[in-house]
Amino acid sequence: MDLLIEGMREAIEMLISGDPEIFEITWLTLKVSLSAILISTLIGIPIGVILGLTAFRGRRLLLVLVNIGMGLPPVVAGLWITMLLWRSGPLGSLSLLYSPFAIVMAQVLVSLPIVIGLTCSAFQQIDKNMLIQIKSLGATRFQTVSLLLRETRIAIMAAIMAGFGRVIAEVGAAMMVGGNIRGETRILTTSIVMEVSKGNFDVALALSFILMSLAFIITFFLTILQQRNKKQ
Amino acid sequence: MKLNKIFTVSLLAVFLFMMSACSNSTNGTNEKNQAKPDETNTAEVKDLILTTTTSTQDSGLLDVLIPMFEEEQKNTNVKTIAVGTGQALEMGVKGEADVLLVHAPDAEEEIVNSGDAINRKRVMYNDYIIVGPSADPAGIKGMEVKAAFKQLFDKDAVFISRGDDSGTHKKELGIWKSIEITPADNKGYAETGQGMGNTLQIAAEKQGYVLTDRATYLAQKDNVDLDILVEGDDDLLNIYHVMQVNHEKHDKVNSEGAEAFVQFMIADKTQKVIEEFGKEDFGESLFVPYTE
């Protein structure tokens, strides 16, 4: 209990004293996770829509793969990306390993299936009669999709939030492909792991409060966005 | 339509935010890249991947040395990857690292002989110690290290091993081997597969014995309820070497930076810093300079 209070005090002190390293780490965490979830959203929603609305050969197999991907262990994603980016690997000449870009890659890999899968299931639940109605009113394909996107807004925001939760909580892959390099790839989760192994539990606890506040603020805004105008 | 707008606008806002964040960071690197040529007349900042053991990072030594090195070599950006010595050496063999700072002399000689590493230099040492519960249920306090290991085995004491192929783990296995004992036969023997800091914490929780390097123990002393029981034996010397990965065998290696780092580690100035490191916080040096 003492440690908990101590950690909270430390967190507040860190923020007030304006320790530049903490800000740098927090800022990088924010940049990396938001980039990852943005990329996942931009790629994942269109794919989810297509998977949800159309029927084609191999669609079911694709869905199985997406659903497995939802549970892809981050360390597995990390290991794959590490081997891909190694100097001896296929993308070795780009020297991307141990850079924030590599962390974003790993985080996209673990969050993309979540966004695709949840978007797809939202679109599959759309009433067939509504689809027919929209079409009979002469909507273009673009109009149809944008109308349906509005209709499924709540589920899609939930998909983005679930993806974001995965991304900000991720540590295994970030450690492997990022390397926890001070001033370059050290993010909140990897610094927590490091501080624990150093035995600085108070610092680790303080960082955990900062991480949770960050997650809270972002999820708060996403939830507001999701629930907005619900009464109308 | 209104909802759609809100959604689009907010997505756009996030996107713009990201773009500005990205351009900020590129500006940052540009400045860095531009600032450096003025001083060194070299256009490119090259990465130098240093793989090392957790003890050099967890003790905080590298946080002091790396900025010093980067100050000296303006066009080198060091990427420190702190892993167990086993993995550090393996990354050298695969050519994934440029320079290694490790502490497992036998395994190091192997990769020098295989031609994967060159220019191996002795840097510093500290020592291993056996720590355990202050009550010392197995009664090993003050014994010689081999006798202590034997006693721990005979009494089936709780012994927590790193089990991660690190330098410390290799050392521990070497001691068991020298007294011809297979420790895994004992119920009290457990492997954590984790770093030294975590292993000490687990040992403290389980009230077990553990072989550790002194630096990590001193750094953790306040957290773990373990006392030094065996120390000062010649067998317990923990020697660190620095070496560069052979660029003739692995063509992507930054050999210039690696060579500079080796030179830096054995320079008098650096050795002085190593000697002073830790005196303020722990009352004694964590590492002792030990060049050839």
pLDDT in tens, B254-266: 999 999 999 999 9
- How far does the CA of residue B107 sit from the closest CA of chain A (Å)? 23
Q: Which residues of B touch A146 (CB under 8 A)?
A: 4
Domain span at residue A161? 2-17+27-227
Phi, psi angles (nearest 5°) of residue B182: -100, 100
**pLDDT tens digits, one per residue of A116-130:** 999 999 999 998 898
Pick the CATH number of B127-236 from 3.40.190.10, 3.90.1150.10, 1.10.10.10, 3.30.590.10: 3.40.190.10
> What does the pLDDT read at residue B15?
52
**pLDDT-derived band of residue B233, with 50, 70 and 90 as boundaries?**
confident
Q: Is A229 close to B3, i.e. CB distance below 8 A?
A: yes
**pLDDT tens digits, one per residue of B103-147:** 999 999 999 999 999 999 999 999 999 999 999 999 999 999 999
**pLDDT tens digits, one per residue of A69-95:** 999 999 999 999 999 999 888 998 888
Asked if B52 and B101 count as a contact pair (C-beta separation under 8 A), the reply is: yes
Total of domains in chain A: 1
Asked if B53 and B86 count as a contact pair (C-beta separation under 8 A), the reply is: no
pLDDT higher than threshold 80 for residue A97 = yes
B263 or B278, which is more confident? B263
**Portions of chain B given CATH number 3.40.190.10:** 46-126+239-289, 127-236
CATH of the domain at A88: 1.10.3720.10
Q: Is A31 close to B21, i.e. CB distance below 8 A?
A: yes
> What does the pLDDT read at residue B133?
95
Mutate to test the interface with A, among B51, B78, B80 (most CBs of A within 10 A): B80
> What does the pLDDT read at residue B76?
93
- For a pLDDT cut of 90, what percent of chain A falls above it? 65
Please provide the size of chain A in residues. Answer: 232
- Domain B46-126+239-289: give its CATH superfamily: Periplasmic binding protein-like II (3.40.190.10)
> Is residue A220 assigned to a domain?
yes
> Is residue A22 assigned to a domain?
no
pLDDT higher than threshold 60 for residue B2 = no
pLDDT higher than threshold 80 for residue B24 = no
Phi, psi angles (nearest 5°) of residue A94: -80, -10
* Angle, alpha carbons B221-B226-B231 (nearest 5°): 90
* Angle, alpha carbons A11-A17-A18 (nearest 5°): 90
CB-nearest partner of B3 from A41, A97, A150: A150
> Is residue A31 assigned to a domain?
yes
Whole-number average pLDDT of chain A: 91
- How far does the CA of residue A194 sit from the closest CA of chain B (Å)? 8
> Is residue A232 assigned to a domain?
no
Q: Is B10 on the interface with A (CB under 8 A)?
A: yes
> What does the pLDDT read at residue B5?
53
SS3 content of chain B, % helix, strand, coil (to 5): 50, 20, 30
**pLDDT-derived band of residue B25, with 50, 70 and 90 as boundaries?**
very low
pLDDT higher than threshold 70 for residue B273 = yes
Q: Is B194 close to A180, i.e. CB distance below 8 A?
A: no
> What does the pLDDT read at residue B28?
38
> What does the pLDDT read at residue A141?
87
**pLDDT tens digits, one per residue of B174-222:** 999 999 999 988 888 999 988 888 899 999 999 999 999 998 898 888 8
Secondary structure string (H, E, C) spanning B191-239 = ECCCCHHHHHHHHHHHCCEEEEEHHHHHHHCCCCCCEEEECCCHHHEEE
Cα–Cα distance, B184 to B171 (Å, whole number) = 16
**pLDDT-derived band of residue B68, with 50, 70 and 90 as boundaries?**
very high
As for the ipTM of the complex, it is 0.78
> What does the pLDDT read at residue B4?
53
pLDDT higher than threshold 80 for residue B276 = yes
**pLDDT tens digits, one per residue of A2-61:** 778 877 888 888 778 878 888 999 999 999 999 999 999 999 999 999 999 998 999 999
Whole-number average pLDDT of chain B: 85
Q: Which residues of B touch A108 (CB under 8 A)?
A: none
A vs B: CB pairs below 8 A: 82
Q: Among A198-207, B101-110, B142-151, which stretch is predicted with the lowest mean pLDDT?
A: A198-207
